[in-house]
Amino acid sequence: MMKHLFLTFLFSLVVIVSTNAQEDYKHKDLKKHFENTEFYTVADLPQNANFKKKPKNIILLIGDGMGVVQVFSAITANKGKINMSQMPYVGFSQTQSADNYVTDSGAGGTALSTGQRTYNGAIGVDVNKQPIPTILELSEQNGLATGLVSTSSITHATPASFIAHIPDRNLYEDIAADFLKVEVDVFIGGGKDFFAKRKDERNLVDELKQKNYQVYNSLEESKDVESGLLAILTSDKHNEVYPNRGNMLPDATQKAITILQKNKKGFFLMVEGSMIDWGGHANNTGYIVQETLDFDRAIGKALKFAATNKETLVIVTADHETGGMTIEGGSMTEGKVDGNYTTGGHTAVMVPVFAYGAGADKFAGIYNNTEVFAKMKALFGF
């Protein structure tokens, strides 16, 4: 019996140590009440613009852990309206993975990027750990420009699912090396250490430069760059939580659009609001709301471009919900939200899909997360 207990204790220690090393953002920090002080106005979007039936460009924005309640908490906190409120076609995505009713971001991201359900923890590989082509890779092969933007490390599960083929989401250095195998035109996020401080002593920043990438450490440093291959690694690992990282996400989204739109054949861009999920794991209402509003301001950049371009589709969705969040009280006039939570992990519920622009009508209804990929692929005509 004692031996059994001791082994259990040892095993728990190993689990705690390894979990902390890999997922250092999953600290519970229960804060139910949030009162917003930073409000923004939402520009009216044309709703009957003469959009093309098929998009030349697709901007897919993923709010990690962003369920309907997270969206409504942001609507409430901004006194009734956010950019997402203006996206006329709304659907629901069922997020179950191949091996779990409750998905993680690896399987969730891979379903969105490849159209296949896989096991939790997988990055761009199927249940047999075989690589599957992603919408970003198909876009490259078809002459489109491509981009990835995230607030987390760019090697984290969601952005990784669009460019890497790795059996385990925690292998950040392996994921970084996969960035050298695809000519993604623009990528902006954290994670410089996984490129430049590696166990194998490769320096992927130098290798990127040899491949004609312009590599920078901040958006400010890169402000004069308007074309060409561009990598901006804005922090050693993950970026800071909002507001400490400033307007990194909306600015990076705008930067990517500015460069990618120069490609005559069109572009595919994925933008992730990575830390809505982390606020959910923390059960912290302010954290969730501020990250969701920051993500929404990035969505505003994409919508503004789509409204004038008329050949662009903007899709906003999530990989899963986090926290089992609900709202028990609040004020639309004061921007107050009283959240509550049922778990420190992910939940199984459907997540919203919002669409605006060319081909947006295809995203109404209830469907599996894999359909988001299928619909994008069909609209691009691949």
CB 93 within 8 A of CB 348: no
What is the rounded distance in angstroms from the CA atom of residue 67 to the CA atom of residue 260? 29
Q: Which of residues 76, 93, 103, 105 is near Mg ion by CB under 5 A?
A: 105
Residue span 228-267 as binding mask against Zn ion, x where in contact by CB under 5 A, dash where not: ----------------------------------------
In the bound complex, what is the minimum distance in angstroms from residue 319's beta carbon to Zn ion? Answer: 9
* Alpha helices, DSSP H, located in the chain: 2-22, 68-77, 105-114, 135-141, 157-160, 172-178, 192-196, 204-210, 248-260, 276-282, 285-309, 370-380
Q: Please report how close the Cβ of residue 227 comes to Mg ion at its closest, in angstroms.
A: 29
Q: Which is nearer to Zn ion, 195 or 341 (CB)?
A: 341
CB of 123 vs Zn ion, minimal distance in Å: 15
CB closer to Mg ion, 96 vs 158 = 158
Residue 143 region by backbone torsions, left for phi larger than 0, else alpha for psi between -120 and 50, else beta? left
Q: Select the binding partner of residue 251 from Mg ion, Zn ion, none (C-beta < 5 to 8 A, by kind).
A: none
Burial class (CB in 10 A: 0-12, 13-18, 19+), 377: middle
Q: Tell me if residue 13 falls in helix, strand or coil.
A: helix
Can you say whether residue 185 is alpha, beta or left, with left for phi > 0 and alpha for psi between -120 and 50 degrees? alpha
Closest approach of Zn ion to the CB of residue 322, in Å: 5
CB of 324 to Zn ion, least distance (A): 12
Tell me: does residue 173 bind Zn ion (CB under 5 A).
no
How far apart CA 229 and CA 214 sit, in angstroms, is 6
Residue 321 binds Zn ion, judged by CB under 5 A: no
Residue 272 binds Zn ion (CB under 5 A): no
Minimal distance, residue 263 CB to Mg ion, in Å = 26
∠ CA 300-304-310 to the nearest 5 degrees? 135
Q: Candidates 184-192, 238-246, 274-282, 325-333 — which segment interacts with Zn ion by CB under 5 A?
A: 274-282
The one among 70, 103, 274, 292 contacting Mg ion by CB under 5 A: 274
Tokens coding 350: 């459907």
Q: Tokens for 45, please give them.
A: 């979007």
From the list 105, 150, 152, 274, the catalytic residue is 105
Bond into 131 cis (ω within 30): no
Annotated active-site residue 105? The verdict is yes
Distance CA 196, CA 172 (A): 12
Binding range to Zn ion, per CB under 5 A, among 116-124, 180-188, 259-267, 269-277? 269-277
Say whether residue 158 binds Mg ion (CB under 5 A): yes
Give the other-Cβ count within 10 Å of 362's Cβ: 19
Of 103 and 312, CB closest to Mg ion = 103
> Of 25 and 40, which CB lies nearer to Zn ion in the complex structure?
25
Taking CB within 5 to 8 Å according to partner kind, which of Zn ion, Mg ion, none is near residue 321?
none
At closest approach, how far in Å is the CB of 254 from Zn ion?
A: 27
**Residue 64 interacts with Mg ion (CB under 5 A)?**
yes
374, exposed or middle or buried, with CB in 10 Å at 0-12, 13-18, 19+? middle
CA 97 to CA 111: how far, in whole Å? 8
Name which of 174 and 277 has its Cβ closer to Zn ion: 277
| DSSP summary character for residue 31 | B
Question: Which residue, 36 or 152, has its beta carbon nearer to Zn ion?
Answer: 152
Binds 158: which of Mg ion, Zn ion, none (CB < 5-8 Å by kind): Mg ion
Question: Residues 293 to 352: which contact Mg ion by CB under 5 A?
Answer: none
**Partner whose binding site includes residue 70, from Zn ion, Mg ion, none (CB under 5 to 8 Å by kind):** none
- Contact between 277 and Zn ion by CB under 5 A: the answer reads yes
Residue 85 corresponds to which amino acid? S
Of 255 and 320, which has the nearer Cβ to Zn ion? Answer: 320
Number of neighbours of residue 257 by Cβ within 10 angstroms: 24
**Mind telling me the catalytic residues?**
105
Q: Which residues bind Zn ion (CB under 5 A)?
A: 277
Q: Which residues bind Mg ion (CB under 5 A)?
A: 64, 105, 158, 274
